[in-house]
Amino acid sequence: MMGINDFKITLATNGRGVYYSGETLTGEVALSLDAPKSVNLVYVTVRGAAYVSWRESRKSGKKRRTVHYSAEEIFFDCQITLFGNGTTSIEIPAGEQEFPFRFMLPENLPPSFEGLYGSIRYTIKATLDRPWRFNQDTKLAFSVISHVDLNMMPSLKNSLNHSNSKNVCCLCCATGPLTVNASIPFCGVVPGQELAVSVDVENSSNVAVTLVKCILVQQATFIANFPHSKHRKAERKMLAVELGALAKNSANNWERVLTVPSCAPSLQRNCNIIKLDYFLKVKARTAGCHSNLVVHLPLTVGTIPLGTQSTKAGHRDHPGRGSTSQATNSRLHDRDSKVMPRARTGYPGGDESNSKKGGHQRGSDNHRNRNDETMEI
């Protein structure tokens, strides 16, 4: 960038590298110029949004057409003015300049998430609005974690036992049934927690079971609203443990302790276009061309484990939380209303902010994430 040696955003470290809903972000925009530069405004835009996008090919007669399904949901979109008034050109002198800012994240935000057909992302973009020039931008992404207190869902403390069975045919002759029974002592877990799993398999058939496997699956549901409502699911294998094989006309029991890997909490609220579920899948694979026998045990992944006393102080001890200085951006206003709260800056002329908040959704044509995979599990 001509005349600009450095233009970047820095967030004050909180020791975690991630932020919670309701926490105050503190940072600065650093600008290094080798010559004076005129600007109308220097501002940052803090944004949180969910995006969904995928394409499907359809054949109609001899013609094939592609339909692009998409949706966008904005959680907040706040603009904070750091320097200038937007109407009069002001010169920034050469050298090193720093523009501090503060922003309080809204409560009840969904966690950051990257999936095959969509994502939940939080970003900060700094902009130099220059007279009769193209704007110059720099962008920084940050991660948000939302708290899911498992103690608020008492049913998760109950044990769960599911079973499934089928009759296996061998050379067109029906044999005895194959039965799989799986149980867990509770249904709510947090990353890093151990979960005991008990699996009983009774094979009364004449077909061997080549492998019994236990799999922790993350299932994401992506919901598009353009050009019409439609959803798509993608499964991701988070953990897999092989239990063993089983001969025909025999039975066995396996007891295993699984450690829940690092993963985002279950997401059913706070986002209308992306849902996140977990379940434990126990699969018995049979020899030959027979279909597998599967048992599903639904799980809820949270951040506060069962049996832990939940207090706001227990998970809200973040720097800047609750201080009076957070009034800088404690209210989000509709950008169209032109209501701008004051914004504290350490630079003359920077005293306005403007924001837009919404839970609305609209079509998005520019999102596609290929970093994930749909897995056959």
Q: What is the 3-state secondary structure (H, E, C) of 74-110?
A: EEEEEEEEEEECCCCCEEECCEEEEEEEEEECCCCCC
Inter-residue contact 81 to 341 (CB < 8 Å): no
Query: Residue length, the chain?
Result: 377
- 157 and 142 together in one domain: no
Give the pTM: 0.78
Tell me whether residue 374 is in a domain: no
Query: Do 138 and 191 belong to one domain?
Result: no
> Do 161 and 240 belong to one domain?
yes
Residue 297 included in any domain:
yes
Sorting pLDDT into bands at 50, 70 and 90, what band is 375?
A: very low
CATH number at residue 102: 2.60.40.640
The fraction of the chain above a pLDDT of 90, given in percent, is 62
Average pLDDT over every residue of 210-219: 97
Question: Residue 261 is part of which domain span?
Answer: 150-301
Would you say residue 294 lies in a domain? yes
Give yes or no for residue 301 having a pLDDT over 50: yes
- Of the two residues 133 and 109, the one the predictor is more confident about is 109
Residue 219 lies inside a defined structural domain of this protein = yes
Residue 316 covered by a domain? no
What is the per-residue pLDDT for 180?
97
Q: How far is CA 235 from CA 135, 238, 277, 373, in A?
A: 41, 9, 10, 8
Q: Quick check: 323 pLDDT over 70?
A: no
Encode pLDDT of 259-290 as tens digits: 999 999 998 888 999 999 999 999 999 988 78
Do 37 and 125 fall into the same domain?
yes
Contact 289, 128 (CB under 8 A): no
Tell me phi and psi for residue 109, to 5 degrees.
Answer: -80, 145
> Averaged over 207-219, what is the pLDDT?
95
pLDDT band at residue 174 under the 50/70/90 scheme: low
Q: What is the mean pLDDT of residues 210-232?
A: 96
The better pLDDT of the pair 167, 27 is held by 27
Counted domains in the chain: 2
Q: Provide the CA 375 distance to its chain's centre, in angstroms.
A: 19
| Residues 256, 141 share a domain | no
Q: Which residue has the higher pLDDT, 314 or 222?
A: 222
- Whether residues 143 and 158 share a domain: the answer is no
pLDDT digits (tens, 9 = 90+) for 333-346: 333 333 233 333 33
Does 51 map to a domain? yes
Decide: 206 and 177 in contact? Cβ < 8 Å: no
Note whether residue 74 is domain-resident.
yes
Say if residue 261 is in the same domain as residue 284: yes
One domain for residues 78 and 110: yes
Q: Are residues 238 and 293 in the same domain?
A: yes
CA 282 to chain centre: 26
Residues 165 and 297 in one domain: yes
Per-residue model confidence (pLDDT) at position 347: 33
246 and 142 share one domain: no
| Same-domain pairing of 86 and 133 | yes
**259 in a structural domain:** yes
The arithmetic mean of pLDDT across residues 162-191, rounded, is: 87
Question: Is the per-residue pLDDT at 17 higher than 60?
Answer: yes
